[in-house]
Structure formats: structure tokens, C-alpha cells
Amino acid sequence: MKKKSIKQKKQSIAIELKNVNKKYIVHHEKPTFIENIVRSDQKEEFTALANVDLTIYQGERVGIIGSNGAGKTTLLKIISGITTPDEGIVKTKGRIVSLIDLEAGFHPDLTGEENIFLNGLVIGMSKEKIKKQFDKIIKFADIGQFISAPLYTYSSGMKLRLGFSVAVHADPDILVLDEGLVVGDNNFQKKAISKISQFARNNKTILMATHMVSFLEKNVERVVFLKKNKIVSDGDISILNKY
């Protein structure tokens, strides 16, 4: 008997992209005020994604791979609703929490405790849920006395831990992560991976973009390979052997 594919086993669609295109305008120099009057600055279009079709099913753990500039972050931002495509259709089912831009939803002058409430509200948690999860968020982030200090005193790793802690305690249907999760503090890494595994057992959809093949081998079941703004491979983790 042939083994059922991932798509056959997972019937409920969590994310669907059809013919998605995204371009950015790249400015090569910044003209002076006078130059701006007499001529325009040099610029060109950069295609970040071209004709992307992608279907991800509820409960899948998907790794997004590709070289720098391949379109990984743009793809995740479009799925998360941070960026809108120029063309194409994007459909998602359920609440998405993204850990792509750690500064989003945080205020540098507020304390960690205050930012828990601010970030929680930004990602869709109610005040009641934030209060209920507050102590668990602080414990999981494990940043000690800095929880009462302004965010501008935090290292990037501390911001990551706080952002991840708020995100996972929001109990999203779709969790979107990037490279930052798999670098830095080993103890936090272990906790984060354990939490991801728990999400997977609860049939949550997880997207992770990273260059770390060893991490993906242990934590995803499907890999999407981007090259020069297009999906060139989409299948099981054997794709990683070609990367």
C-alpha cells in the first residue's frame, strides 16, 4: 500500500496562496534637495516573489529555506498579514501570531511587564487572557529583574524570549517563526522547541524560516525551497539534501 501524502492526510487548509507577486522599489542613492528638483534618483524594481502558489494544511510543520534574498521573509510577512501582495490571493484560517519583526508590538520606553500587555493586545489577546497568562509569560521568558526594566535596555535575545513567550501563550492557530528562534541561548532554545512540539501535538500549524538544516531535520515534516523569488521544491525533508 502506498503511503498517504501529507496533503492527503491533512484535509483542512490553514494557508492558501494563489499567484502571489510582490515587488519593491530599490533606491540606489538619496538625492539632495536641489537634485530632487531637477532629476529623480536612480531606482529599480526588485521582485521579491513571483507567481507563488502554496497550500499549507492545518497541523503541518513547514520549513521555509533558501538563500538570502530568495523571498523567505517576504513570504512569511505576506502570510502573516504584515505585508500585502501586489497581485494574487492569500487566504488563512485561524489566528496567526508572527515572530518575524520582534520590534513590532513593543515600545522601547515601556518595561517588559508593560510590553507584555501591549504586545498581547497587538496580537489579539484580550486583557483578561493576558492577566491570566501573565505570570506564565514572565516565567517562560526568564529574563529576571529585567522584566521591570525598559525594553531599550534589553539585548536582542531578551526581546526574542519575551516576544516568543507572549506569542505562544496567546495560543495561536498558526505560529510563524524566523531564524532568530534557533540562535542564542541553548536553554531557551530547548524550551522553545519543546513548546513547538506541544503545538504540533495540538494540531497547530507552524512555519519556520531558517538556514539551519539540522534544526529543520528534527522539527518539520515538510520543506518549501525558495530560489530567486520562486518556489522550486515543495515536499518532505529529503529536500534538505539538495540545499
- pLDDT per residue over 2-60, tens digit each? 344 444 454 799 999 999 999 988 766 665 555 565 555 567 788 999 999 999 999 99
Beta partners for residue 174, in sequence order: 96, 205
Residue 136 burial (CB count, 10 A): 12
The pair phi, psi for residue 139, each rounded to 5°, is -65, -45
Beta strands (DSSP E) in 78-186 are: 87-92, 96-99, 174-177
> Worst-scoring range by mean pLDDT, 5-14, 43-52, 145-154, 158-167?
5-14
Q: Are 186 and 167 in contact (CB under 8 A)?
A: no
- The candidate with the shortest Cα–Cα distance to 131, out of 117, 119, 151, 150, is 117
Cα separations in angstroms, 23 against 29, 42, 46, 48: 19, 16, 5, 5
The pTM assigned to this predicted structure is 0.81
Side-by-side strand order, sheet with 87-92 = 43-57, 13-27, 87-92
Average pLDDT of 210-223? 87
Domains and CATH numbers, the chain: 61-88+95-242 (3.40.50.300)
